[in-house]
Amino acid sequence: MASTATKTFKNFIGGDWVDAASGETFETTVPATGESLGTFPKSGPDDVDRAVEAAKAAFEEWRLVPAPKRGEILFRFGQLLADQKDELALLMAREMGKVLPEAAGDVQEAIDMSFYMGGEGRRLFGHTTPSELRDKFNMSVRQPIGVVGVITPWNFPIAIPSWKIAPALVCGNTVVFKPATDTPLLGERFVELLVEAGVPAGVVNVVHGGGGAVGDRLVRHPDVPVITLTGSRETGVEVMRNAAENLKHVHLELGGKNAIIVLDDADLDLAVDGIVWSAFGTSGQRCTAASRVIVQEGAYEELQSRLVAAAEKLRLGPGWEEGVDVGPVINRRALEKIHSYTEIGTDEGAKLLTGGEAVNGEGTFYRPTIFGDVDPEMRVAQEEIFGPTTALIRVRDLDEAVRVSNGIRFGLSSSIFTRDVNKAFRAMRDLEAGITYINAGTIGAEVHLPFGGTKQTGNGHREAGQAALDVFTEWKSIYVDYSGKLQKAQIDTAG
């Protein structure tokens, strides 16, 4: 397995571990310390082409492996993840930076997804229906599509690949996987374990490298009919445009600007716990992070002071150290972007209540940051910051709270703290988001429910749950006529 000593890693193509055709490499480092964890192939279009060729060839056999057998491989994979949960979590705390309990949660999500999708091997339900004609049988079945291009971000380096690769495989597709360049080591471990679980050569291939060279070639490759991408809105737009030429199936899970609503009647202790977890967990680098808190005026002052006190108690440090609440952010570029939003917010007239600065030293640490008196139209309340920064917005009532919550381009997660069941149900109906939590923060999805967002968070698809199967299969409708004569639908009406 991958140790913490610096090592040289390879691509995995057609069952062989190979270097990039160019021989070029890039490094992955520990954001908490800057130390190198390993060297990876800096691949290009040639490497992608080779991987697609291998995946295309493997598809011809893999699609015929009975789905329950494909599912059994996922059960083994889930068990291997479970056996190595601690090692993987430690590796994640190092390579990606999240604190150990969250890193273990990331791995757990992949375990859950593997077992859930393993079970799909015995379902993959279609429908049988009556026919409008005599002696005729109708059914619909799911069919695999072919080679799936899997492009992932760094913030859930084990969970997100599992959301895509587990359903792709159980449905009978083959995969070319491009992990994020900030977390290639976890991507590599993921594939090693799939191989150990029994995935045949060519069925899963991994090609390391950048979005421009590797990701883009996958997106444009004519033999990759499905692209599944989790990333920023900007990348999503580019991918959709570039995939249009071949009319690919494009599945996008993009950004968020999620809000927690706190009404006057809320349990404020609970609300503060939910906000701290949702705004500062994973250093705010979750697509579902709460980067806005919309507070009814009667609770505003009290909530603000409790929240600032709670944020100031959080301990920053390397994710693997005991008692640390908030790890580093992913890299220096991210740190600079997060700090630029502190400047933007201050310039816009928002009140900086706490944080607002990086911590000096080797690691990329940023203090939990809260802005008060934020206007919903300010950039800090509209744009995804992807760091430990949240904005408090004061509103009069539920209607205004819902309007403000909805007043953004994204629609991923939403939440409301209230003890009034009528208000909770109105929020459930009216919040424009793919996910709504009642009396919980904006994070905490479970793998058997659909996950994804409305509006510009995506393009109408969902991962997880049964909904994920729609991304990775095509429906086929089958009509079996056993009348022995030519019957014409819509024309022969005698019954």
The residues that are catalytic are: 253, 287
- The residue (of 150 and 401) whose beta carbon lies closer to ligand NAD is 150
Instruction: For residue 296, give the H/E element and its range.
Output: strand 290-296
Q: How many CA atoms lie within 13 A of 177 on its CB side?
A: 36
Please answer whether residues 285 and 443 qualify as being in contact, where contact means their C-beta atoms are separated by less than 8 angstroms. Answer: no
CA dihedral 376, 379, 382, 387 (to 10 degrees): -120
β-strands 226-230, 11-13: how paired? unpaired
Q: Cα–Cα distance between 435 and 364 in angstroms, integer?
A: 31
Question: Amino acid letter at 62?
Answer: W
Instruction: For residue 366, give the H/E element and its range.
Output: none
- The residue (of 253 and 264) whose beta carbon lies closer to ligand NAD is 253
Question: Which residues touch 427 (CB under 8 Å, ≥6 apart)?
Answer: 261, 398, 402, 414, 416, 418, 436, 438
Please answer whether residues 133 and 162 qualify as being in contact, where contact means their C-beta atoms are separated by less than 8 angstroms. Answer: no
Q: Please state, in angstroms and as integers, the Cα–Cα distance from residue 225 to each residue in 77, 124, 408, following that order.
A: 26, 20, 32
Q: How far is the CB of 283 from ligand NAD (least distance, A)?
A: 12
Q: How far is the CB of 252 from ligand NAD (least distance, A)?
A: 8
- The residue (of 238 and 325) whose beta carbon lies closer to ligand NAD is 238
- The residue (of 291 and 304) whose beta carbon lies closer to ligand NAD is 291
Q: How far is the CB of 154 from ligand NAD (least distance, A)?
A: 5
DSSP assignment string, 433-446: SSEEEESS-S----
Residues forming beta bridges with residue 174, ordered by sequence position:
147
Q: How far is the CB of 114 from ligand NAD (least distance, A)?
A: 18
Q: How far is the CB of 58 from ligand NAD (least distance, A)?
A: 22
Q: How far is the CB of 214 from ligand NAD (least distance, A)?
A: 7
- The residue (of 197 and 204) whose beta carbon lies closer to ligand NAD is 204
- The residue (of 172 and 452) whose beta carbon lies closer to ligand NAD is 452
In the complex, the residues that contact ligand NAD under the rule CB under 6 A are 151-156, 178, 180-181, 210-212, 215-216, 219, 229-232, 235, 238-239, 253-256, 287, 384, 386, 412, 453, 457
Question: Which residues touch 87 (CB under 8 Å, ≥6 apart)?
Answer: 1
Q: Cα–Cα distance between 339 and 350 in angstroms, integer?
A: 14
